[in-house]
Structure formats: structure tokens, C-alpha cells
Amino acid sequence: MLKLPAAELFEIPDETIYLDGNSLGPLPSGVTAKLGAMLRDEWGEMLITGWNNAHWMEQPARVADMLAPIIGAPAGSVMMGDTLSIKVYQALAAALNMRPQRRVVLSDTGNFPTDLYMADGLLKMLGEEYELRVVDPSQVIESINSEIAAVMLTQVDYRTGKLYDMQQVTDAAHAADAVTIWDLAHSAGAIPVELEACKTEFAVGCTYKYLNGGPGAPAFIYVRPDLIDSVQPALAGWLGHEAPFAFDLDYRPGTGIERMRVGTPPVMQMTALEESLQMWKNIDMGQLRERSIELSELFIREVENRCPQLQLASPRDPQERGSQVSFRFEHGYAAMQALIDHGVIGDFRAPDIMRFGITPLYIGEREIQRAASILQDIISNEIWRAEKYQVRSRVT
């Protein structure tokens, strides 16, 4: 197993403490060479024959099978492709098709907005009788009833890091015969996930956060193995067809998880991701989680001791927290800009949340201590008041 931290596996700039791996993971060391080789030896040399000879066509399934063990899924139950937004749509459309008599999708106010937007777009198209019911996270379980076709939640709240008990909610949904869709954006590679054991029908996620697949890395969808051959693909793309190269006029869904493919896969992104996932063969998720909790506890202790102006926004119980720590601070936006300017990269979520991703693959005690000390300097000396830290940029 990998000795942690293993920062040598990444190309992280000197003097940078990177606490934003929950938003975009850093560049794994092998990716640049791998992608260069793919361009030169595959696209450049093989041209169109790369689809066969470099196995581009099978790559999404192959990469998915590398990812599967990280989320407790069996081989053949996960497919890579598209974006997380598209995969949410695909899962929800399939779920609604499985419960044709029901009209309500249940989600919560802690869900990442694009999940809610995609659901809204789908339900609006299906007609006025459909409803997206968005409740407070504390009310999800009591809101599950026989009206609910699907319960669609993100396991780890993107702002606070609050963690759902996936088993408990899934069981409650199943007791009401509702389908579950779990968004693992902040779970995959962050905490142990046992998809197969939990019996959720669907899960989706992205790979550019804790899995370090790079900006815009492909998303994934999981379908419970016993359902794969009956799921109805709403996004009926040719690569999910039973025989894409027969060019039949009629759609016939492919066998198994292949039917969740849509269009031509982004081979460059897929190649970068495939290389990024290599390290996970040597990572024990239990050990990673243990380190994540130790480092998170240390960070909370240090920040609370040094910066009484900040209030912990994440759950105090580590068992209820993903692999991030968030603090509320009225001037959080400016403070985060100042922090980034001083080499500690976290991010900000409106209205007042400073987010810090705790990623034991490349963060250790030394980085946590140093980040807390720089944060203390910025807060107690009000360095964030400088005008340059007040200017809002589009992406934070």
C-alpha cells in the first residue's frame, strides 16, 4: 500500500499548499507523458485505426472498471462519459421510467445546483404533473412516501461536507418503493463507498475532484447489476446501441452497462483519467479515510485555536463529514483570495463559506499546520482588507 502522503505522485508547485482537491485534483506526474504519447503514437500515427488498434472504443468501459472498486461497484456496472450533469439526467430519466405511476422527484437544498437544474429541465419537459420537491436535508427521510418516484441526493454536501448515511436513506426510499440516485461527486476517492452493498439503483459522479482526472474529466454512471439489462436509456446514443457499426435505423440498447454510453468518447480526457487512476491500485480506502479524519481533526483544532473569528460550518463529528472542512467567515471571499495569494489554495462558496479539501494523497500534517498558520496571519492581521482581495472574479 502507498505510504501517505505521496506528494511525489503529483506535480504540485513548490510553496503551494493545495487544499482544493475537492474541486480540481492536481496533475498526477505521469499524465503529461502519457497524453503526449497518446497524441504522437495513437492519434498521430494510427489516425482512424486508433479506435481499434489503440482500443479507444473500449476505453470508457476499461477506465470504468478501474474506478469501480473505489466506489464498491463490481466490474461491468460503471460506465464513463459525458459530464456529471448529463449523467444525472440519464439516471433520473431511467428512474422515472421505472416508476411510471409516480410523479415526484425528491431532493434537498444541499444538493449541488446542477443536479436540481437538470432534474427541473427534465421534469418541465415531461409535463406539469411532474414535481421536483426540494426539502431541507434534515427532512429528507420523513419526506419519502409513495408519491416519490426517485430520491436524488448528493452524498456529501458541497458546501459543508455533511455526509449522508447512504444506507439509511436508500433503505428508507426502498421501503416506499422509490428509486435512489446518489451523486458521488464529493465521495468518489474521498471516502469509502459501497455501492453494491447499499443496493442503490443508480449512482453518478465526476472524476476531476478526488480522482485527479483533470479539468473536465469524464463523468461516470453506475447501474445496479440486476437492472442493467432492463434500464431504458433516454439518451439513446449510437455508442450505447447493440451494434453501433451496423448503422441500423432503429435503436436497440446494448448489452449491460454499454447502453449507458451516448456519443463519441473524449479520448484525450479519457487517457489522462486512465493514467490518473493507476495509483488507486495501491491505495486502501480505509487507510485514506483514517488519514483524512486525522488531518481534518487537526485542521479544525488548529483553525479554531488560531482564528476565533471563523465558525466551523462542517459537522463536528468526523463520521458525519466527507473529506473537506468548511468555515463560515463574513469576509470569507476576501480572506480566501488573500490565502490563495499566500500560497494556500482553498475556495469560497457563497455567501460566506471557506472550503478546504483534505486530501491525504498529497497533504500531510506539515501542510495542515502551515495552512492554519498562514490563515491565522491573514485573519488576525486583517490582510484580507487589502483592496485587491475584494474584487470578485467569475469563478471562485
**What is the set of active-site residues?**
112, 183, 208-209, 355
Q: Taking the C-alpha atoms of 324, 327, 330 and 332 in order, what is their torsion angle to the nearest 10 degrees?
A: -40
389 touching its own copies, by CB under 8 A = no
Amino acid letter, 155: Q
Binder of its own copies out of 2, 340, 374, 383 (CB under 8 A)? 340
- Cell numbers representing residue 246 in the block: 451496423
The DSSP annotation for 326-393 comes to EEE-TTHHHHHHHHHHTTEE-EEETTTEEEEE--TTT--HHHHHHHHHHHHHHHHTTGGGSGGGTPPP
Q: Assess 308 for contact with its own copies (CB under 8 A).
A: no
Contact 71, 195 (CB under 8 A): yes
Residues numbered 128 to 167 that lie near its own copies (CB under 8 A) are 134
Shortest CB 63 distance to its own copies, Å: 13
Q: Is residue 27 near its own copies by the rule CB under 8 A?
A: yes
Contacts (CB under 8 A) with its own copies, residues 309-338: none
Name which of residues 346 to 375 contact its own copies (CB under 8 A): 347, 349-350
- One-letter amino acid at 361 equals L
CB of 204 or CB of 285, closer to its own copies: 204
Cα 116 to Cα 108: distance, rounded to the nearest angstrom: 9
Among 130, 164, 208, 389, binds its own copies (CB under 8 A): 208
Segment near its own copies (CB under 8 A); pick from 86-94, 145-153, 169-177, 320-328? 86-94
Q: What is the DSSP string of 10-21?
A: B-PPTT-EE--T
Q: Which of 78, 79, 80, 82 binds its own copies (CB under 8 A)?
A: 82
Q: Which residues pair with 152 in a beta bridge?
A: 181
Based on CB atoms, which residue is closest to its own copies, 129 or 317? 129
Piece in contact with its own copies (CB under 8 A), picked from 231-239, 288-296, 302-310, 318-326: 231-239
Name the residue with cell 503529461: 32
Using rule CB under 8 A, residue 56 touches its own copies: yes
Which H or E run includes 179?
strand 179-183
Q: Indicate the pairing of strand 104-108 with strand 202-205.
A: unpaired
- Decide: is 205 part of the binding site for its own copies (CB under 8 A): no
- Cα separation, 215 vs 110, in Å, equals 24
Asked whether position 267 contacts its own copies by CB under 8 A, the answer is: yes
Task: List 360's β-bridge partners, or say none.
Answer: none
Does residue number 52 form part of the binding site for its own copies (CB under 8 A)? yes
Under rule CB under 8 A, residue 242 binds its own copies:
no
For its own copies, the binding residue among 177, 248, 290, 382 (CB under 8 A) is 248
Residue 278 interacting with its own copies (CB under 8 A): no
Min CB(18)–its own copies separation in Å: 6
